[in-house]
Amino acid sequence: MAIISRGFSGRRTPADAKLPPGQYLTTDFPVLSAGPTPRISLDRWEFTIDDGSNVLKRWDWKSFRELPSETITTDLHCVTRWSKLGTSWEGVSLDVLLADLKTDLPYAMFRSYGDYTTNLPLKDVMNKQAWIAFKYAGADLAPEHGGPARLLVPHLYLWKSAKWVTGMTLMPHDKPGFWENLGYHIYGDPWHEQRYSNE
């Protein structure tokens, strides 16, 4: 039974917006990271899609930025319980990246510079649900928030929106990524409060 600290509320503001269960509203943008911030020069950056054996598609920064992009305004929900509403991004939809890619592999492991990985069903990054985002709040995405580019999948907990993303490996079966294999939920739907694995 914890001692309640008189007058302490933390960084949060009253939650009058509708939030997923167990979340608190925050006005700042906490930086969470499991490792050092990678410093990736744009002339080295690439995003690849492979199937475990072959590279199916590859973009360098120039060809990536020539793809059609869009602005997105969305809410973020972190498994550490903070939510940030109405965030604005610019990015390339995964629908654009996956266009004319034929695959029957239903899952993907997203890989980041550094050693971070996170897994997603392929159908969760299609149909206007996911972007590779390179701008936040109108400016180039800062390194501590995942720049040059990060995955953005707002309908799931934010650990699925891999920072410093560099590619995706298509897989036949779902496999847990960095946090999933420690004990976090394999899917991570905040609206069903899927924070942790049931195993």
| Contacts with another protein, residue ranges (CB under 8 A) | 2-12, 24, 28, 30-37, 39, 78-81, 115, 143-144, 159, 179, 181-184, 195-197
- Closer by beta carbon to another protein, 32 or else 55: 32
- Closer by beta carbon to another protein, 34 or else 137: 34
- Closer by beta carbon to another protein, 107 or else 179: 179
Instruction: Residue count of the chain, please give it.
Output: 199
Given phi > 0 = left and psi -120 to 50 = alpha, else beta, which region is 127? left
List all residues 6 or more positions away from 23 whose beta carbon is below 8 Å from its beta carbon. 15, 77, 81, 82, 83, 190
Q: How far is the CB of 157 from another protein (least distance, A)?
A: 9
Q: How far is the CB of 139 from another protein (least distance, A)?
A: 19
- Closer by beta carbon to another protein, 64 or else 116: 116
Q: In what order do the strands lie in the sheet with 46-50?
A: 55-60, 46-50, 165-171, 107-112, 117-121
- Closer by beta carbon to another protein, 80 or else 103: 80
Q: How far is the CB of 114 from another protein (least distance, A)?
A: 8
User: Cα separation of 7 and 126, whole Å?
Assistant: 45
Q: How far is the CB of 78 from another protein (least distance, A)?
A: 8
User: Cα separation of 45 and 146, whole Å?
Assistant: 13
Q: How far is the CB of 3 from another protein (least distance, A)?
A: 5
